[in-house]
Amino acid sequence: MNATAHQTAPQPVAPAAFDVARVRADFPILATQIHGKPLVYLDNAATTQKPQRVIDAVSHYYEATNANVHRGVHTLSQRATDEFEGAREAVRQFLNAADAREIVFTRGTTESINLVAQSYAREFLSPGDEILIGAAEHHANIVPWQMLAKSRGTVLKVAPINDAGELDMAAFERLLTPRTKLVAIGHVSNALGTINPVARITALAHAAGAKVLIDGAQSVAHANIDVRALDCDFFAFSGHKLFAPTGIGVLYAKADLLEMMPPWQGGGDMIKTVSFEHTEYNDIPYKFEAGTPHIAGAVGLKAAIDYLQTLDFAGAVAHEHRLLEAATRAAGTFPGLRPIGTAREKAGVLSFVIEGLHPQDLGVLLDSQGVAIRTGHHCAMPVMQYYGLAGTARASFAFYNTQDDLDRFFKALEKARDILS
């Protein structure tokens, strides 16, 4: 008898190769009409659309499970707790974190960064200590450090970008000194699409004795994230940019740091015992989750992660990259169009201006043709100041976009230009 033929373990079913038409069918909103035209959704950097699986998971949670977590002995409360903690474990696996205790649920990237500022940095940084960021950061990775500087006397340093929108790594290294205690850096710029070399940045920062926070708002949906391989100390992201609901996000932090950090909000769930004289705080991660969390959001986030695992994710990323390349080529031949952000390593974003046309007018005219893009400063005003612009128009891609979307976008752009000029 051929032993191996019978004793080989069943192979896991490989996810189907990436099929954009099939994937689009999973997102009901993509079949919507806007002003009588089929929607072309190119505002994915602002928020992504939700697959049916996420929508169903959230409504099923409210139909069958809804209760408060952690405190109840009744069945629904236990189910809600299991689902909420199951979501934490799904995020742990998704990020390849070592321990589910390293996953703190927040409202999103903004809250995650504020948590690090108001807990870690407020407690462990001293007046004169430096926080180093990049010049293309989102306001969420600028303002919390300015607030800290005001109250704590820390110093905010900014590593410049070059005209392509790439971080000037030589300048970054010069600015990294023994005074630098924290490097906070966007993985992917939402305004320009630049991918920052976060693994290298983390290694350099650690060699200089600084901790590293990665703002992953724009990278989680476009790359495999492995926080252990990156070795970052903190990683922040928002569920809604990963096909999950708004109002739920994550702060990953190494367990030893979370253990050291004081809570930043007080209330229910973050305590073990309370008296008027003394409060004993809860264990991590609950110490950082005061009050009733967004349970349905966490359930939706797990559903989004589960959904992504049914896809050929590498195929999805490659598809998205082909779209970006095609869009960049087409933009290069569009009269008067100036791309803003031409880094060698980019993900998912085509930011641009057109000579003589206001981005907002473009956005309104594109919307009238069913094409959703974003216009303005993209919560990255210093980037706009660098390029001497009030704002740009930005088309941003997800794996459910198609070449047809691009064709319709450029046709709509031509029409808008003809109307406006």
Q: Closer CB to ligand PLP, residue 218 or residue 392?
A: 218
Is 140 a residue that touches ligand PLP (CB under 6 A)?
Answer: yes
The one among 26, 102, 166, 215 contacting ligand PLP by CB under 6 A: 215
**By rule CB under 6 A, what string of x and - marks binding of each residue 229-258 to ligand PLP?**
---------x--------------------
Stretch that binds ligand PLP, among 107-115, 206-214, 250-258, 361-369 (CB under 6 A): 107-115
Question: How many residues line the site for ligand PLP (CB under 6 A)?
Answer: 13
339, 350 in Cβ contact below 8 A? Answer: yes
Q: Which amino acid is at 181?
A: K
- Coil, strand or helix: which one is 363? helix
Is 341 a residue that touches ligand PLP (CB under 6 A)?
Answer: no
The one among 50, 81, 105, 108 contacting ligand PLP by CB under 6 A: 108
Of 77, 59, 113, 97, residue with least CA distance to 269: 77
- Coil, strand or helix: which one is 106? strand
**By rule CB under 6 A, what string of x and - marks binding of each residue 33-72 to ligand PLP?**
----------------------------------------
* Residue of 67, 171, 379, 389 with catalytic role: 379
290, 269 in Cβ contact below 8 A? Answer: yes
Q: Could you tell me where the DSSP H helices lie in 186-287?
A: 198-207, 227-230, 255-260
Q: How far is the CB of 348 from ligand PLP (least distance, A)?
A: 11
Of 66, 103, 110, 29, residue with least CA distance to 305: 103
Cα–Cα distances in angstroms (integers) from residue 407 to residues 40, 276, 327, 342, 373, in the given order? 10, 65, 9, 21, 14
Q: Closer CB to ligand PLP, residue 184 or residue 323?
A: 184
Q: Which amino acid is at 326?
A: A
Active site residue 379: yes
Is 218 a residue that touches ligand PLP (CB under 6 A)?
Answer: yes
Q: Closer CB to ligand PLP, residue 161 or residue 365?
A: 161
- Token code pair at residue 205: 């920062």
Q: How far is the CB of 178 from ligand PLP (least distance, A)?
A: 28
Q: Give the other-Cβ count within 10 Å of 16's Cβ.
A: 12
323, 363 in Cβ contact below 8 A? Answer: no
**By rule CB under 6 A, what string of x and - marks binding of each residue 355-394 to ligand PLP?**
------------------------x---------------
Q: Closer CB to ligand PLP, residue 217 or residue 284?
A: 217
E strand intervals along 229-367: 234-238, 249-253, 271-274, 279-281, 337-339, 349-354
Stretch that binds ligand PLP, among 14-22, 214-222, 288-296, 305-313 (CB under 6 A): 214-222
d(CA 118, CA 263): 9
d(CA 406, CA 215): 28
Q: Closer CB to ligand PLP, residue 20 or residue 148?
A: 148
Residue whose token pair is 């919307």:
367
Residues 167-206 that bind ligand PLP (CB under 6 A): 186, 190
Residues near ligand PLP (CB under 6 A): 108-110, 138, 140-141, 186, 190, 215, 217-218, 238, 379
Active site residues: 379
